[in-house]
Homo-oligomer: A and B are copies of this chain.
């Protein structure tokens, strides 16, 4: 139910990711979602509220996707990294939604930035757990490295630099 809300959130997700948050206005979102302005402000108390919903939804979605990746330990880790690399080859790929959002919200105290930190901490935790499960040495440092490589893949992929993406994935898997 409340399909108007879903339509708004879906449209916002598409537009914010493809064109950036600051450049897409509320008017644009509600026009594309075919929703009245009052309805929008009925469901979201402000644009920032919508932005947070967009990121929170994406966070939940990624959690679902990555938790469904089969395998254990290093196999699963490799699957996750190569899947990210494959994704970055797609035509609609525009980098990591969280890193893009962070670039548009310079103030680290912002709720948006806190959500980005939370996302990255979760991702690092996932890497850490998989490293421990695989019985690898120095999982803390390796988890940090994998997070950084993930960031790099997202950035390079978003800029269309497939060579760097490939180098990143291969080296990460070798090191780890």
Contact = CB atoms under 8 A, between A and B. Distances in A.
Contact of A120 (B18, B148, B161): B161
Given A20-B103, A103-B99, A148-B149, A120 B165 contact: no
A24 to B, nearest CB: 10
Contact of A156 (B19, B95, B104, B148): B148
Contact of A104 (B104, B108, B141, B149): B104
Contacts of A141: 167, 170
A168 B145 CA distance: 6
A3 interface: no
**Copies of the chain in the assembly:** 2
A161 to B, nearest CB: 7
Contacts of A151: 151-152, 155-156, 164
Given A103-B99, A104-B20, A156 B147 contact: yes
Interface in A150-164: 150-153, 155-156, 158-161, 163-164
